[in-house]
Amino acid sequence: MSESCEHDLEFIGDQKAEKGVNKYFRCRKCGDVFVHTDEYNKTYRIPGVKG
């Protein structure tokens, strides 16, 4: 389960936003993707696909 994962993140890229840059990371263990926004200084989690 991704809720109990001790995320091992790898940087997968960035994207220019209106203000700053969004940085994308993927967990090597569960596949979740994390997006960190410079504009709001927040990080969002996108759950990985379970196969």
Residue 14: which domain range?
2-46
- Structurally, the chain folds into a number of domains equal to 1
Which residue do the tokens 């263990």 mark? 29
Residue 30 is assigned to a structural domain of this protein: yes
Residue 40 is assigned to a structural domain of this protein: yes
pLDDT tens digits, residue range 10-47?
999 999 998 899 999 999 999 999 999 998 999 999 99
Indicate if the pLDDT at residue 2 is higher than 50: no
Taking the CA atoms of residue 11, residue 47, residue 43 and residue 13 in that order, the dihedral angle to the nearest 10 degrees is 20
- What local confidence, expressed as pLDDT, does residue 3 receive? 62
* Confidence category of residue 51, pLDDT binned at 50, 70, 90: low
Residue 51 is assigned to a structural domain of this protein: no
pTM here?
0.83
